[in-house]
Amino acid sequence: MKILLTGGGSGGHFYPIIAVAESINKIAKEEHLLDAKLFYMAPSPYNPRALLENNIAFVPNPAGKLRRYFSLLNLVDMVKTGWGIMMAIVKVFSIFPDVIFSKGGYASFPALVAGRLFRIPVVIHESDSEPGRVNAWAGKFATRIAISYSEAGAFFPIEKTAHTGNPIRKDIMNVTREGSKKFLGLEEQVPTIVILGGSQGAATINEILIQSLPDLVGTVQIIHQTGKVHFVPVKETATLVLQGNQYASRYHPFEYMDAVTIKMVAGVADLIISRAGSTIFEIALWGIPSIIIPIPEAISHDQRKNAFAYARTGAAVVIEEENLSPHVLVSEIKRLVEHADILAKMKGATTAFARKDASDTIAREIISIALSHEK
């Protein structure tokens, strides 16, 4: 049984693939399925260690990104995509998987073209409330379609679409509470705010937060994932802004959080501030109220829709980036942390959105299709 995984370009695509791979390996072991071979095709391995730990062979293949705005790079990437398709045809034929699982995105396009050419069954997963271009196209011939938001069902054939939720890695599902505040250097009786900007950070949120720190640290303590690129300038600026402030030690910047740190941070968070990518599903699974600040629609067509789809559950509030200012951010944080009843209602609303079994559900369908194709 050979399964080709594809997609990538960001952690929002890559880590759900890893979650599904974890489930495939687990189910294959439980059901004594021999020779479950996994391959991952993308321009880069993104996290080689995660691939190695899950026995996934990396198959490098170029792909070009089609931007939604005018850029001369689109011409370069069109050539790259054409070359990627030709390479994918050769590589997919040499593997000839029993099924292809795609998370969408530009990195998956060459493998999907090759899969369609060879009539290999395809399973896709759509993380957003409105599908991107590749998944919208692949949905026309995919054998099965999994979606994270029920709203996405309107864009796909109902008879082969299932609302599964978003796959989440096993190592960050369960939070760590005991001892986490002490380990992270936090105060016991002070509300904890966590800002997650994704692996690359979020420059606008970082900037507004830094301006807000003097007004915030007197009330809350802050764990801030800045992103590796932004860590040094953010930390240096924060040190200047908080110089002489008696509560300066309540600001805790991190350039990156591994799985162990994420579980501890989730275990102490009273409120999380995040973009509207796949992190929403992790926040919901952890049962933590949130403020969602989507990437502007001109840059990302899906995040605004994701944010408001999640907010309709009552688990989050949305601040659009064009409305974001230090005053707005401080006021909203204080409004929420000072009203335990509001946070409690938001926390309760997360349970209806979170789906802990998403990766297992998708993995079982992939395995079923692979075994049928293998015969």
pLDDT of residue 70: 54
Closest CA to 199 of 65, 5, 9, 7: 9
Same domain, 202 and 339: yes
pLDDT of residue 55: 96
Res. 189: pLDDT tops 60: yes
What percent of the chain clears pLDDT 70, i.e. is strictly above it? 94
Same domain, 163 and 191: no
Same domain, 162 and 235: no
Same domain, 119 and 192: no
- Over residues 10-20, the mean pLDDT reads 91
Same domain, 369 and 269: no
Q: Taking each helix axis as running N to C, give the angle between helix 73-95 and helix 109-117, from 0 to 180 degrees, rounded to the nearest 10.
A: 50
pLDDT digits (tens, 9 = 90+) for 237-256: 999 999 999 999 999 999 98
| Domain extent for 258 | 174-353
pLDDT digits (tens, 9 = 90+) for 288-311: 999 999 988 777 768 999 999 999
Rounded Cα gap, residues 250 and 344, in angstroms: 24
Q: Kindly give the residue spans of alpha helices, DSSP state H, lying in the chain.
A: 11-30, 48-53, 73-95, 109-117, 133-138, 180-184, 203-216, 231-241, 259-268, 279-286, 303-311, 326-337, 340-353, 358-374
Indicate which CATH number applies to the domain containing 327: 3.40.50.2000
Q: How sure is the predictor about 21, in pLDDT bands with cuts at 50, 70 and 90?
A: very high
**Overall domain count for the chain:** 2
Res. 89: pLDDT tops 80: yes
Same domain, 85 and 179: no
pLDDT of residue 364: 97
The mean predicted confidence, pLDDT, of the chain is 92
pLDDT of residue 245: 97
